[in-house]
Amino acid sequence: MNGCFPVAGLRCLSRVCCTLLRDGPTLPSPSSAAVRLLRTLVETPPADTSLLGNWWWMCQRRWPERLANHPLPGGLLLRPFSLAPSSQDGTKMAEPGTPRFLLVFDFDETIVNENSDDSLLRAAPGQKLPDSLRATYREGFYNEYMQRVFKYLGDEGVKPQDVREVYEDIPLTPGMTDLFQFLNKQSSCFEIILISDANTFGVESSLRATGYRGLFRSIISNPSGPDGHGILVLSPFHSHNCPRCPSNMCKHKVLSEYLRERARDGVHFEHLFYVGDGANDFCPMGLLSGGDVAFPRRGFPMHRLIQEALKAEPPKFRGSMVPWESATEVRGHLQEILKKC
User: Which residues are known catalytic residues?
Assistant: 106, 108
Pick one of Zn ion, Mg ion, none as the site partner of residue 244 (Cβ within 5 to 8 A by kind).
Zn ion
Using the rule CB under 5 A, which residue among 34, 109, 205, 253 binds Mg ion?
Answer: 109
Looking at the Cβ atoms of 123 and 285, the one nearer to Zn ion is 285
Pick one of Zn ion, Mg ion, none as the site partner of residue 109 (Cβ within 5 to 8 A by kind).
Mg ion
**DSSP assigned state of 61:** H
- Binders of Mg ion among residues 22 to 61 (CB under 5 A) are none
Min. distance of Cβ 254 from Zn ion in angstroms?
9
Q: Count CB-CB contacts under 10 A for residue 301.
A: 17
Measure the CA–CA gap between 53 and 189, rounded to whole angstroms: 23
Length of the chain (residues): 341
When asked if residue 287 is in the footprint of Zn ion (CB under 5 A), the reply is no
Min. distance of Cβ 247 from Zn ion in angstroms?
11
Looking at the Cβ atoms of 197 and 329, the one nearer to Mg ion is 197
Measure the CA–CA gap between 306 and 96, rounded to whole angstroms: 35
- Binders of Zn ion among residues 249 to 268 (CB under 5 A) are 250, 252
Min. distance of Cβ 31 from Zn ion in angstroms?
33
Measure the CA–CA gap between 244 and 289, rounded to whole angstroms: 20
Say how many residues touch Zn ion, by CB under 5 A.
Answer: 6
Pick one of Mg ion, Zn ion, none as the site partner of residue 277 (Cβ within 5 to 8 A by kind).
Mg ion
The region, left, alpha or beta by phi > 0 then psi within -120 to 50, assigned to residue 240 is beta
When asked if residue 106 is in the footprint of Mg ion (CB under 5 A), the reply is yes
| 199-203: Cβ within 8 A, 24+ apart | 199/146, 199/223, 199/224, 199/234, 200/224, 200/225, 201/160, 201/163, 201/164, 201/167, 201/225, 201/232, 202/116, 202/120, 202/163, 202/167, 203/107, 203/116, 203/167
Measure the CA–CA gap between 331 and 327, rounded to whole angstroms: 6
CB 257 within 8 A of CB 249: no
Measure the CA–CA gap between 220 and 286, rounded to whole angstroms: 19
Using the rule CB under 5 A, which residue among 5, 59, 246, 277 binds Mg ion?
Answer: 277
When asked if residue 278 is in the footprint of Mg ion (CB under 5 A), the reply is yes
Q: Which stretch binds Zn ion (CB under 5 A): 68-76, 100-108, 234-242, 312-320?
A: 234-242
Min. distance of Cβ 104 from Zn ion in angstroms?
14
Min. distance of Cβ 287 from Zn ion in angstroms?
11
Looking at the Cβ atoms of 196 and 256, the one nearer to Mg ion is 196
Using the rule CB under 5 A, which residue among 128, 134, 244, 311 binds Zn ion?
Answer: 244
Cβ neighbors of 91 (< 8 A, separation 6 or more) are 84, 85, 264, 266
Using the rule CB under 5 A, which residue among 103, 283, 294, 334 binds Zn ion?
Answer: 283
Measure the CA–CA gap between 46 and 70, rounded to whole angstroms: 21
Cα 301 to Cα 22, 105, 109, 317, distances in angstroms: 31, 16, 11, 15
Pick one of Mg ion, Zn ion, none as the site partner of residue 303 (Cβ within 5 to 8 A by kind).
none
When asked if residue 38 is in the footprint of Zn ion (CB under 5 A), the reply is no
Measure the CA–CA gap between 16 and 27, rounded to whole angstroms: 15
When asked if residue 195 is in the footprint of Zn ion (CB under 5 A), the reply is no
Q: Which stretch binds Mg ion (CB under 5 A): 81-89, 104-112, 199-207, 286-294?
A: 104-112
What residues line the site for Mg ion (CB under 5 A)? 106, 108-110, 277-278
Where does this chain bind Zn ion (CB under 5 A)?
A: 242, 244-245, 250, 252, 283
